[in-house]
Structure 1
Amino acid sequence: MATLQDKITSALASKDMGNEAFKQGDIHNALKQYHIAILALSGLDNQMAGVPMMSAMNPQNGQVSEEQKNVIKTNLAVVYANMAACHLKRNNYKRAIDVCNSALKNDPDNVKAKFRRGQAKSAEGNIAGAEADFLSLGENVPGVKAELEKLKKMSKEAEEKQRRTMGGFLSRGRIVTEEEELELEREKAAEAEAAAASSSSTSTKTTASTKPIPKSKPTVGSKASTKQKAKAVVKEEEYTPSTWSGTAPKIQELAEGEE
């Protein structure tokens, strides 16, 4: 009959096979081996809590030491965190978050579980959630600083996109769908084309209105009229102040000073 330690050793062997498959890029087999390890370790964990084992292993008789309990809990967290790495490779971010949560239930301080959960949240666009996970680890943990910088860039890009595409919708508490965003872009393009066409039309009209008007040649009648005006002006200029009484202003001065 297998002892508790034998069962722990078997479960850890499956975990190691999963690690090797992951290194070779065989994600399918890695998940399979991790699943076997989880079933074995979960069965042992249930047995410690007085629950019937869910795995095919026989119940364990005898007392379980605190050290063995810690080994089981710690390795459950490790295997779940390793499964998260597989799900990240497959871009299955929701499942990655789920197994990370399971890992942290068994070991709240598991660094890889927090880090990979932060990566999965970041990939889903949950910037605040990802930032909380990374900050809880501290920037001294390898990779955290780079992930935080990535989040800052994502946040800035998201803010710029909101300003550029949402406009007045945000002030009314409304979220713009992709279809509405495309419609806004089409409207902007149409307005730009209309403005360009209007500018071209105005330019053409301005050019036409600024053409010089050809001067008409003077006719015989206009020449005669001009001569008569000239004679009239001369006649007025030839006025002599012989009739000036000395008290009334000169006619010439009135003409120059009043309308």
Structure 2
Amino acid sequence: MESMGKYDEAQKAFQKALQLSPGNEEVMDKLHTINTKVRERNEKTKSQHCKTPEEAKQLGNSFFKDGKYDQAAEFYTRAIELQAGPIKEKAVYYTNRAACHQQTHMYSLMVDDCNAAIKIDPANVKAYLRRGIAYEGMERWKLALEDYTKAQSNSPGVAGASQGILRCQRVLRN
């Protein structure tokens, strides 16, 4: 496990081995080595250590894929901080962070991030879709419908827009 970079699993295994064989010098040495490697790895994966927005984005993507949405949002925030000027790539970082907020049901933060992305890139379909999702979560159906419709008009056939439109229309009719 250690050689494959699975330090967390190795750490747990050595901790269990130490419980079964307290005072085992070899196990204690290995556990100390693993603890050092885990600490070093964790230090390297702090957002402040990222030097470029792309590096921060990649680490954010990795955390997002692992379901660690708060950590992912932290790295997307770092990418936003590092990216100079309002360019389209910065809008991507905002929509990525909005996706993290979606997973944690923080809809008002989603709206803020999508607004920032749309300000930079008014044609950003993901920003309209995600803001529509946020408005749906906040039960602001008319605003959600507007965003889904805007996403659909910017990119006909985009996944999620037509279903969102139908859901909002159904609620607004009742």
Percent identity reads 31
2:171 aligns with 154
Moved over 6 A (4+): none
Deviations along 1:111-146, whole A, 9 cap, x unmatched?
Answer: 111100011011111111111111112251111111
> Does residue 1:17 correspond to 2:31, yes or no?
no
> Does residue 1:80 correspond to 2:94, yes or no?
yes
2:158 counterpart letter in structure 1: V
Deviations along 1:45-85, whole A, 9 cap, x unmatched?
Answer: 2xxxxxxxxxxxxxxxxxxxxxxxxxx61111000001111
CA deviation after TM superposition for structure 1 residue 152, in Å? 2.4
CA deviation after TM superposition for structure 1 residue 34, in Å? 0.6
Of stretches 27-36 and 134-143 in structure 1, the one that deviates more from structure 2 is 134-143
> Does residue 1:120 correspond to 2:134, yes or no?
yes
Alpha-carbon distance between aligned partners in 2 of 1:154 and 1:19, rounded to the nearest angstrom? 34
Alpha-carbon distance between aligned partners in 1 of 2:146 and 2:64, rounded to the nearest angstrom? 28
TM-score with structure 2 setting the length = 0.66
1:1-40 equivalences in 2 (<5 Å)? 10-40=52-82
CA deviation after TM superposition for structure 1 residue 33, in Å? 0.7
CA deviation after TM superposition for structure 1 residue 36, in Å? 0.9
Alpha-carbon distance between aligned partners in 1 of 2:160 and 2:114, rounded to the nearest angstrom? 17
8 A Cα contact 2:126 2:151, kept in partner: no
1:130 aligns with 144
Alpha-carbon distance between aligned partners in 1 of 2:65 and 2:92, rounded to the nearest angstrom? 16
1:134-213 equivalences in 2 (<5 Å)? 134-138=148-152, 139-156=156-173, 159=174
Alpha-carbon distance between aligned partners in 1 of 2:71 and 2:109, rounded to the nearest angstrom? 17
2:27 aligns with none
Alpha-carbon distance between aligned partners in 2 of 1:79 and 1:145, rounded to the nearest angstrom? 25
1:96-115 equivalences in 2 (<5 Å)? 96-115=110-129
Alpha-carbon distance between aligned partners in 1 of 2:127 and 2:62, rounded to the nearest angstrom? 19
Alpha-carbon distance between aligned partners in 1 of 2:73 and 2:160, rounded to the nearest angstrom? 24
CA deviation after TM superposition for structure 1 residue 150, in Å? 1.4
Note the aligned Cα RMSD (angstroms).
1.4
Alpha-carbon distance between aligned partners in 1 of 2:124 and 2:59, rounded to the nearest angstrom? 21
Larger RCO: Structure 1 or Structure 2 (Cα < 8 Å, ≥ 6 residues apart)? 2
CA deviation after TM superposition for structure 1 residue 88, in Å? 1.0
CA deviation after TM superposition for structure 1 residue 155, in Å? 2.2
8 A Cα contact 2:80 2:90, kept in partner: yes
Alpha-carbon distance between aligned partners in 1 of 2:55 and 2:131, rounded to the nearest angstrom? 25
CA deviation after TM superposition for structure 1 residue 147, in Å? 1.1
Alpha-carbon distance between aligned partners in 1 of 2:65 and 2:76, rounded to the nearest angstrom? 13
- Secondary structure in 2 aligned to 1:153? helix
- Secondary structure in 2 aligned to 1:25? coil
1:28 counterpart letter in structure 2: D
Alpha-carbon distance between aligned partners in 1 of 2:172 and 2:114, rounded to the nearest angstrom? 24
